[in-house]
Amino acid sequence: MEKIIIEGLYKIFGPHPEKAMRMLNDGHSKDDIMEKTRHGVGVADASFVVNAGEILVVMGLSGSGKSTLVRCINRLIEPTAGKVIVNGEDVTRIGKKELRHFRQKHFGMVFQNFALFPHRSVVRNAEYGLEIQGVDTTKRREAAMQALEQVGLKGWEESMPDQLSGGMQQRVGLARALALDADIMLMDEAFSALDPLIRRDMQDELIDLQEKVQKTIVFISHDLDEAIKLGDRIVLMKDGFIVQQGTAEEILTNPANDYVARFVEGVDMSKVITAETVMKKYEAMAYLSTDGPKAALRKMEKAGISSIFVRKSGKLKGIVTARACRAAADRGEKNLAAILDTDIQTVAPDTPANELFPLLAEEPHPVAVVAEDGHLKGVIVAGSLLAKLSEVTNPENGSDLDAEADSESKITV
Amino acid sequence: MKFPENINIPLDVWVDRAMDWVLNTFGGFFDALGTLILYFMLYIEKFFLWLPWPVLILGVGILSWRVLGSWWSGVSMAAMLFFIGVLGLWELGMMTLSLVVASVIISLAIGIPLGIAMASSNRMQGIIKPLLDGMQTMPSFVYLIPALMLFGLGKVPALFATIIYAVPPVIRLTNVGIREVSASVIEAAHAFGSSYWQILFKVQLPLARPTILVGVNQTTMMALAMVVIASMIGAKGLGLEVLLAINRIEVGRGFEAGLCIVFMAIIIDRITFAMASEKKQ
Ligand SMILES: Nc1ncnc2c1ncn2[C@@H]1O[C@H](COP(=O)(O)OP(=O)(O)O)[C@@H](O)[C@H]1O
Ligand SMILES: [Mg+2]
C-alpha cells in the first residue's frame, strides 16, 4: 500500500522561483540557475512513493537536496510546486492548523544533530509530542517510558540530555519520535553524527525495532553502506533531481548513469547481494507425512543430489541423506522421522552474501533459505553462491569462476 | 560670526503644542493611568512599611545564603540592611525599595512581552531596536520632563520616569535570549506540531530564561540608579535625602543616604545576579 506519494515536487529557495523553475525545465544546471537568478535549487521534479511499512532511504551527496526533500514531506519547508500525498491527503493543500494536527498524528522526526530540548529531562523530551497534543500526564509519561525502554534507555529517564553520549542522545531523539505513535518516521541523517561503531549498533537496532513497530520510514543518508543495510528501497539524488530509485541490488547491478555508477563504486558486493539472489531452486523435496526412505531415495536419484530437504504442512522440518535413507530402507523402516536431521542451517532471504560463506564452510548440507513463515524458498550451495557473485561483480566475464567454485578462499570477504 | 537669527525653526513651540494636544486629547487617560499606578505603588509601599524589619533582614539573609551559596554572604547582606536601620534611614529606605520594586514589576510586565514581540518578527525588531538605542543614549533626567508634564509632581511621574529608564535592558535581553535559542530545536518543536504559543512557553522562554534574568538584573539596577534622579520630581526616599543634602551642603547627611543606596544596590545586584547565573548552569 502506498503511504506517501510524491509527485513533481520542487523546492526553489528565493523570493521569485518562477524564473528558476522555467530555467530548470529548460535543462539549465543548478549552478547555472544560481549564477543567473540567485535562486537555489533544493529539490527538482521529484516523484516517488513510499510504501506502508517499508524503509525508504533517500541517498545523495551533501547538498543534493535530501534534507529539503524530507522537510517538504511535513512542510517544515514549503514546497514550491508539486504534491505530497500522505494517507491519501495532499499535505501541500491543508491549512496551518490542520498541518499542525497532521504533524502530531502522522510524523515522528529524528534529526542529524539530535535537536533535543536541552532544558527537559530525557523522559520529558520523549513525552514532548504527546504533551503538545494535550494528552494527560500519566498517559503520556507511560508512552514515553515505553518508548525509552524500546530504545534501551530504561533508567535514564531523569537525566538531562547533555549528560548523555551522542549515541544515547539520538536514542532519546528516536524515543521522542516513537512515543507519538505516528505512522511515519522521518529520519534526516539520524545516525550520521555518531561514531562508526555506535552507528552500526543503531542501524541494527533500528532494523530490530522496525520489525516490531512496522512504521513507514523515510531515512536520509549520505552513506551507501547505510542505505543498503537499512533500505528496502533507495532513492538516489543529485543536485535536487532523483537520478535513480529501486532496491539496493537494482541500483548496484544496474546503475542508471555514471553518477550512480561512481557512487556505487567500491561497494563490497557480497554485502549487497542477499541469500535470495544467490539461492537456487530446490530440485526436489520430500514430505514427512507421506514419503518413506525409498520414496526419498528415488527423488534424490532423479534429481542427482545426495541429500534432500523434508517438509511437513508447508514448513521445513529437516534434511535426510541418501546414505541414511538406504540404511533405513534396509532396516525396513517406513518413514523418515527416525533418520531426519533437524539440525539444519537456515537463513532469511535478506541475509547478505558475505554472511553465507562461513556457514557454507561449516555446513555439510546445503543452506536452506527460509521465509519468515517457515517455508523453504531455495537452497544455497557454495558453487551457486560464487557463480552468482562473480556474475554480478564482473558482468562481462560472466561465470568464469564456475569451474573453481569450490575454492572459496579465492574470494576475499 | 553670529548664526543668523532668521534661520530658525521653533521646535520648542511645536513640541509644546504637541504636548498640549496630547494632554487635551488623552488627559483623561493619563489621569486614570496615573491613579492606577499610584494605587499600585501605594500598596507596595504600604507593604514594605508594614513589614517588620527583623523579618526583612532575616529574609534577605536567608535568601542570600541560599542563592549565593555561603552563610557568610547571607550574614553580610543582612548586616548591610541592618546598617540602614542603624543610620535611622529604614523608613526612607523602604520607600526607595518600594519604588524600585514597583517599577521593576511594571517594567517586566511591559518589557518581557515587548521582547517576545521583538523576537517574533524582524519588522518589530526593526522598529523597537532604534528606539531602545535612542533611549539608552539619552541622559536619564530627560525622562523627567514628559513624566512631569503627563502626571505632575509626585510618586507617579517618578515611577513613570524610572520605568522608561529601566525597561530597555529587559526588552533587549528577552529578545536576544529568544533569538539565541537554537534553530534546530525550534524546528524539532515545529516538526512535532507545536503551535506558536506552545513553542514560546515550552521551548523559547525556558531556554531564554538565563538571559532574561540577566535583563531583570540590569533593569533592577537601572531602576535603583534612577531613584535619586526621580526624587527631583517628588518621590520620597533615600534619593530625596541625597538631593536635600546636596542643596543644603550637608555632607554627612548626604554621605549616609548615599551609603544606604550603595548597600541596597549591592544587596539587590548580588541576589538577582546570582539567580540569573544559577539558572545558566
Ligand atoms: N534555507 C535555504 N535557503 C537557501 N538555500 C538552501 C536552504 N536550504 C538548503 N538550501 C540549498 O538547497 C540545496 C540542498 O540542500 P539540502 O537539502 O540541505 O541538502 P542535503 O541535505 O542533501 O545535504 C543546497 O544547495 C543548499 O544550499
Ligand atoms: Mg542534509
pLDDT in tens, A318-362: 898 888 888 888 888 888 888 888 888 888 888 887 788 778 777
Q: Is the pLDDT of residue A214 over 70?
A: yes
Using the 3D structure, point to which of A267, A287, A305 is the last residue of a domain.
Answer: A267
List strands edge to edge, sheet with A184-188: A107-110, A184-188, A216-221, A55-60, A233-238, A241-246
Convert the pLDDT of each residue in A148-179 to its tens digit. Answer: 999 999 999 999 999 999 999 999 999 999 99
Judgement on whether residues A207 and A289 belong to the same structural domain of the protein: no
Mean pLDDT of A93-119: 95
Judgement on whether residues A322 and A390 belong to the same structural domain of the protein: yes
Using the 3D structure, point to which of A267, A283, A301 is the last residue of a domain.
Answer: A267
Judgement on whether residues A354 and A234 belong to the same structural domain of the protein: no
CA nearest to A76 within chain B: B191
Amino acid at B128: I
A228 phi and psi, to 5 degrees? Answer: -65, -40
> What is residue A149's predicted lDDT score, i.e. its pLDDT?
94
> What is residue B226's predicted lDDT score, i.e. its pLDDT?
86
The rounded distance, in Å, linking the Cα atoms of A334 and A167 is 59
Q: Do residue B192 and residue A128 have CB atoms under 8 angstroms apart? A: yes
Amino acid at A43: V
Using the 3D structure, point to which of A250, A267, A284 is the last residue of a domain.
Answer: A267
Judgement on whether residues A210 and A317 belong to the same structural domain of the protein: no
Q: What is the mean pLDDT of chain A?
A: 87
Handedness of CA A305, A307, A311, A315 (dihedral sign): negative
The answer as to whether A133 is a domain residue is no
Least confident residue range of A197-206, A402-411, B25-34: A402-411
Structural domain boundaries, residue A367: 275-412
pLDDT-derived band at A401, boundaries 50, 70, 90: very low
Judgement on whether residues A280 and A375 belong to the same structural domain of the protein: yes
CB A411 within 8 A of CB A383: no
Q: Could you tell me the distance, in angstroms and rounded to a whole number, from the CA of residue A42 to the centre of ligand 1?
A: 5
Q: Please provide the DSSP assignment of B161-194 as one string.
A: HHHHHHHHHHHHHHHHHHHHS-HHHHHHHHHTT-
Least confident residue range of A63-77, A131-145, A376-390, B138-152: A376-390
Which residue do the cell numbers 548496484 mark?
Answer: A252
> What is residue A391's predicted lDDT score, i.e. its pLDDT?
64
Domain-wise residue ranges, chain B:
11-50+87-280
> What is residue A268's predicted lDDT score, i.e. its pLDDT?
67
The answer as to whether A376 is a domain residue is yes
Q: Could you tell me the distance, in angstroms and rounded to a whole number, from the CA of residue A71 to the centre of ligand 2?
A: 10
A54 phi and psi, to 5 degrees? Answer: -105, 160
> Nearest by CB to A103, which of B185, B192, B203?
B192
> What is residue A352's predicted lDDT score, i.e. its pLDDT?
82
Q: Which CATH superfamily is domain B11-50+87-280 in?
A: MetI-like (1.10.3720.10)
The CATH number of the domain holding residue A332 is 3.10.580.10
CB A317 within 8 A of CB A342: yes
> What is residue A390's predicted lDDT score, i.e. its pLDDT?
65
Residue of A68, A77, A111, A241 with the most ligand 1 atoms within 8 Å of its CB, for mutation: A68
pLDDT-derived band at A397, boundaries 50, 70, 90: very low
The rounded distance, in Å, linking the Cα atoms of A69 and A326 is 64
Beta strands in A52-106 (DSSP E): 55-60, 81-86, 89-90
CA distances from B163 to A344, B93, B101 (A): 85, 19, 11
CB B228 within 8 A of CB B254: no
Judgement on whether residues A371 and A301 belong to the same structural domain of the protein: yes
Q: Give whichever of A44-53, A195-204, A357-366 has the largest mean pLDDT.
A: A44-53
Judgement on whether residues A249 and A284 belong to the same structural domain of the protein: no
pLDDT, tens digit only, all 281 positions of chain B: 888 888 888 888 888 888 888 888 888 888 888 888 889 989 999 999 999 999 999 999 999 998 888 899 899 999 999 999 999 889 999 999 999 999 999 999 999 999 999 999 999 999 999 999 888 788 877 878 878 888 888 888 888 888 988 999 999 999 999 999 999 999 999 999 999 999 999 999 999 999 999 999 999 999 998 877 888 787 888 888 888 888 898 889 889 999 999 999 999 999 988 888 765 44
The rounded distance, in Å, linking the Cα atoms of A121 and A117 is 8
The number of distinct structural domains making up chain A is 2
pLDDT-derived band at A263, boundaries 50, 70, 90: confident
Convert the pLDDT of each residue in B51-62 to its tens digit. Answer: 999 999 999 999
Judgement on whether residues A260 and A335 belong to the same structural domain of the protein: no
Closest ligand to the CA of A77 = 1
Q: Could you tell me the distance, in angstroms and rounded to a whole number, from the CA of residue B107 to the centre of ligand 1?
A: 42
Residue A83 DSSP code: E
Q: Do residue B192 and residue A104 have CB atoms under 8 angstroms apart? A: yes
Coil, strand or helix: which one is A244?
Answer: strand
> What is residue B267's predicted lDDT score, i.e. its pLDDT?
93
Q: Chain A interface, mutation test: which of B192, B199, B213, most A Cβ atoms within 10 Å?
A: B192
pTM: 0.76
